Structure 1
Amino acid sequence: MAFKTTTHLNFRGTAREALDFYQSVFGGRSVAVTYKDAGAVQDESEADWVMWGEVAGDDGFHVMAYDVPSRLPWNQGENPFFVSVRGETAEEISALWGKLAEGSAVVRPLEPAQWAPLYGMLTDRFGITWVLDVAAPYNG
């Protein structure tokens, strides 16, 4: 049996904006189903919020997202998870970094590290912390 995992991001009213941003960085296709689309509106002010959404690319990139309704508890928390993106070349990782860095807070600059030719960490404008690095051969 094979398994596939996908990072699922939870927002409060900004899921569509986040999905659009991630699609602009990584490409692929974006889908968003609102509470209105699904016939699941419980608060009219949240009818256009995302009940289910994703960005998926042919290269394997995939994130899902939704807007947590105000009737449910939600706290973005502090560092509850990181999204890790590992590429094969410095060029592809540097290009993604440049796009993600817009409006972000750099936690660790994108630069060589002991364990990777290139490594960096930033928290984007949606509060999501991303770790980007270039794959390095294991020298165990």
Structure 2
Amino acid sequence: MAVKSVTHLNFRGDARAALEFYRSVFGGALAVVTYKDAGNVQEPAEADQVMWGQVLADDGFHVMAYDVPSRMPWNPGENAFFLSLRGETTQEITAYWEKLSEGATVVQPLAPAQWAPLYGMLKDRFGVVWVVDVASEYNG
């Protein structure tokens, strides 16, 4: 038996746009179920918001997201989590970095680091903090 962990992002009205953006970066299939689709509309203005959504790419990238209903508390938090993206080559990571950085705030520019051939951190236009690096064996 295997267990898999998938990052699940919570938004307030931006889940569809975020998922579409991540699909444009990583490719893959986008699946979205709205509150209306699920017959779970409690606030008419939120009927078309995402109750469940995901992007799943052939290379293994997988992220889930939903829109937190207005009746529930939600705060994007401050450093509540980072989404870590690790790749095998500098070319692969650089390509993802360039796409993710569209509209983003760069926290740490993508550059060689003591522990990785490339490392960078940014907060994307949806407020999600990504730590991006090329996987390498740590010899600390």
Q: What's the TM-score once normalised by structure 1's chain length?
A: 0.98
Equivalent residue runs for 1:4-83 within 5 Å = 4-83=4-83
Partner SS state of residue 5, structure 1 = coil
CA–CA separation in structure 2 for the residues paired with 1:135 and 1:117: 8
| Deviation of 1:91 (Å) | 0.2
Q: What amino acid does structure 1 have at the position aligned with 2:123?
A: T
Shift of 1:86: 0.4
CA RMSD in angstroms comes to 0.7
Letter in 2 for 1:6: V
- Look up the SS of the partner of 2:19 in the other structure: helix
CA distance in 1 between counterparts of 2:74 and 2:137 reads 40
**Post-superposition shift, 1:136?**
0.9
User: 2-side partners of 1:100 and 1:7: how far apart?
Assistant: 17
Aligned to 1:111: 111
Question: For residues 129 and 19 of structure 2, what CA distance do their matches in structure 1 show?
Answer: 15
Moved more, 130-139 or 73-82: 130-139
Q: 1:120: which partner in 2?
A: 120
Q: Percent of aligned positions with the same letter in both sequences?
A: 71
**Where does 1:91-102 land on structure 2 (aligned, <5 Å)?**
91-102=91-102
Deviation (angstroms), 1:138: 3.0
Structure 1 distance, partners of 2:69, 2:138, is 44
How many corresponding residue pairs? 140
Counterpart secondary structure, 2:79: coil
AA in 1 matched with 2:20 = D
Q: Secondary structure at the match of 1:18?
A: helix
**Structure 2 unmatched ranges of 5 or more:** none
